[in-house]
Chains A and B, each alone.
Chain A
Amino acid sequence: MSCSPTDLKEYFLSELNLTDSGRVEAHLKSCSTCREELERLQLMQAALGSLREEEIPRRIAFVSDQVFEPSALRRWWGAFWNSSARLGFAAAAMVSGAILVSALTRPAPAPVLNAVSPKATQVSAQTFSGAEIDRRIQQAAAVEALKAVAQAESSRLAEIRQLRDDLKKARYSLAVATSEYDMAARRQGIVNVAANGYGFPKSDAPGESK
Chain B
Amino acid sequence: MIFRAVEDGDLIRQAARGGVEAFNLLVSRWEKRVYNYLLRLTANREDALDLTQDVFLKAYQNLRKLDDAARFAPWLYRIAHNEAYSMFRKRRPETNLEDAPQESAEDGIAVAGRSVFPIELSLSVTAALNRLSPEQREAVTLKIYQGFKFEEMAEVLGCPVSTVKSRVYSALDLLKAELAPVRRGVS
A residues near B, CB below 8 A? 6, 9, 13, 15, 40-41, 43-48, 50-64, 68-70, 75, 78-79, 82
B residues near A, CB below 8 A? 18, 20, 23-24, 27-28, 31-33, 35-36, 39, 45, 49, 52-53, 56-57, 60-61, 64, 108-109, 111-112, 116-118, 121-122, 124-126, 129, 140, 143-145, 149-150, 168-169, 172, 175-176, 179-180, 182-183, 186-187
For the residues of A in contact with B, the DSSP-based class is loop
A61 touches B186 (CB 8 A): no
A69 touches B172 (CB 8 A): no
A68 touches B61 (CB 8 A): yes
B53 touches A47 (CB 8 A): no
B176 touches A44 (CB 8 A): yes
A47 touches B31 (CB 8 A): no
CA distance A88 to B52 in the complex (A): 40
A and B contact pairs by CB, cutoff 8 A, 20 listed: A9-B172, A15-B149, A15-B150, A40-B180, A41-B172, A44-B179, A45-B144, A47-B124, A47-B182, A48-B125, A51-B108, A52-B109, A54-B35, A56-B32, A56-B52, A58-B49, A62-B20, A68-B57, A68-B60, A79-B64
CA distance A59 to B27 in the complex (A): 9
Chain A contacts for B49, CB-based, 8 A: 56-58
User: How many interface contacts (CB-CB < 8 Å) are there between A and B?
Assistant: 109
B169: contacting residue among A9, A48, A57, A75, CB under 8 A: A9
Residue of A nearest to B187 (CB): A43
A52 touches B116 (CB 8 A): yes
CA distance A15 to B147 in the complex (A): 11
B122 touches A51 (CB 8 A): yes
Q: Which 6 pairs across A and B sit closest by C-beta, in order of nearness?
A: A50-B117, A43-B183, A56-B35, A53-B36, A64-B20, A46-B186
A53 touches B24 (CB 8 A): no
CA distance A58 to B35 in the complex (A): 10
A44 touches B172 (CB 8 A): yes
Known: A13-B143, A44-B183. A57 touches B64 (CB 8 A): no
Known: A40-B176, A43-B183. A50 touches B121 (CB 8 A): yes
Known contacts A47-B121, A60-B56, A79-B64, then 6 further A-B pairs from the complex at CB < 8 Å, ordered by chain A residue: A43-B187, A48-B129, A50-B186, A51-B125, A54-B36, A60-B27
Known: A41-B172, A50-B109, A61-B24. A69 touches B32 (CB 8 A): no
Known: A48-B140, A78-B64. A54 touches B111 (CB 8 A): yes
Residue of A nearest to B39 (CB): A54
CA distance A22 to B85 in the complex (A): 40
Residue of B nearest to A43 (CB): B183
With both chains docked as a complex, state the minimum distance between the C-beta of B143 and any C-beta of chain A, in angstroms: 6
A69: contacting residue among B20, B125, B129, CB under 8 A: B20
Known: A62-B60, A64-B20. A55 touches B121 (CB 8 A): no
